[in-house]
Chains A and B, each alone.
Chain A
Amino acid sequence: MSGVSIWLPTGSALVLFGLLGMLLASSILRKLLAFNVMGSGIFLLLLALRPPGPDGVADPVAQALIITGIVIAIAATALGVRLARRYFELSGHTELPEDRAATRDD
């Protein structure tokens, strides 16, 4: 186990945090934040599985995939934020109905 990169458990832990955040957070914005953390964890796993080559530069295909992933995650987050703001304009709430009911029953 001495050759195991430390970024593998780190990435997995980030995915765990993100998953917990998405499932348990009440506010929509917090869920979006958790979604981004989870995405970052997965990107970290992608690059952790590709150790840098002899010249210290990481795998270019993995890098391209991650850049693409970052841009897509931003697009999804922006849409989510816009929807959250619109929902807030229309209903005055920052949480979805089922989350409001859940926090009350807790």
Chain B
Amino acid sequence: MNATDLLLALALLLLAGSALLARSVQIASVLFIAFGLLLALVWVRLGAPDVALAEAAIGAGVAGALLMLAASEFESRRIGGSRAAGPRLPWPRPQGWRPRWALVLLALACAAVLLLAVLAIEPLAGAATEAVARNLPQSEIAHPVTAVLLSFRAYDTLLEIAVLLVAVVAVQAAPAPPQRALAHDPVLARVAAITVPLALLVALYLLWAGSSRSGGAFQAGAVLAGAVLLARFASLPLDPQSRLTRPPVLALGLALFILIGLVAGALAGAALGYPSGWVKPLVLAIEAALMVSIGATLVALFGGSKTA
């Protein structure tokens, strides 16, 4: 246990506590983004750069931005004066009571049990790492994490993409939230004109690097989503958002993954397997499709219906 880790751990807990106790949800969202970024540092400290990339992009960036967007919307409508103009919800107000002290004790008990349980586990250094390292040459993928995600446990990744698709279908089911017209800002437009292509380049690089280093479809998709959203906020003349959040683009990743999984799997003898020698291009194709779909999904999750 060294001083850096201790400081990081304390700072992490302090940020989490501040975020949860902040006086307004907007402040809480900002603190939460800071918490996510510090957590990304902790991941690096624990030797997990892939997770750090995903945490910074998705965990801190997207989650924080989503919460902040909703919080600002609630705040502005409340200040604006007019509250609900729509129909009240039909279910009756329940007459419940909840003593807070019982809940606090319950939470403390759960956390105590959890801590005792994890302390009792012997940290198994290296068992899975060795297994992965042994089978890595057979998978023909250079980077262990990518190999696990797209070869050894490709089924998990497949289902994960399906979950994302279900979430975006559910989000798009409701009518589009009322969108304020965004003012055109020349400074933002100029900066975005430089930054958006650069971000696209970074996304493509992360996609390419994923085959041999840290990176991959999820991180690339998150950067792609950021670029598209920035283009939208800057009111750049090209409006990719409406074309991007259409169902074909959203489903592209899952569809291609299943297609390649079945076809290549038939050739290789097992579903979601790859025939030898074809691994690199197939995995790259799957990851590219995933990147586009994940980017489109994250953009669509920011609110908007099928037509927005």
Within 8 A of B (CB), among A70-106: 70-79, 81-82, 84-94, 97-98, 100-102, 105-106
- Separation of A23 and B63 alpha carbons in the complex (Å): 20
A: number of interface residues (CB 8 Å): 84
Q: Which of B9, B39, B95 has the most CB of A within 10 A?
A: B9
Indicate whether B261 reaches chain A with its CB closer than 8 angstroms.
no
Within 8 A of B (CB), among A30-72: 30, 32-34, 36-37, 40, 43-45, 47-53, 56-68, 70-72
Residues of A within 8 A of B296 (CB): none
The distance from the CB of A73 to the nearest CB of chain B, in whole angstroms, is 7
The distance from the CB of B204 to the nearest CB of chain A, in whole angstroms, is 19
- Separation of A10 and B17 alpha carbons in the complex (Å): 12
For chain B, what secondary structure do more than half of its interface residues adopt (helix, strand, loop), or is it mixed?
helix
Q: Which of B28, B70, B91, B178 has the most CB of A within 10 A?
A: B70
Contacts from B to A (Cβ < 8 Å): 1, 5-6, 9, 12-13, 16-17, 19-20, 25, 28-29, 32, 35-36, 39, 42-43, 46-48, 50-51, 54-55, 58-59, 62-63, 66-67, 69-71, 73-74, 77, 83-84, 86-89, 91, 93-98, 100, 103-104, 106-108, 110-111, 114-115, 118-119, 121, 123-126, 128-129, 132, 144-145, 147-149, 152-153, 156-157, 160, 163-164, 166-168, 170-171, 174, 177-178, 218, 294, 298, 301-303
Contacts from A to B (Cβ < 8 Å): 2, 4-21, 23-25, 27, 29-30, 32-34, 36-37, 40, 43-45, 47-53, 56-68, 70-79, 81-82, 84-94, 97-98, 100-102, 105-106
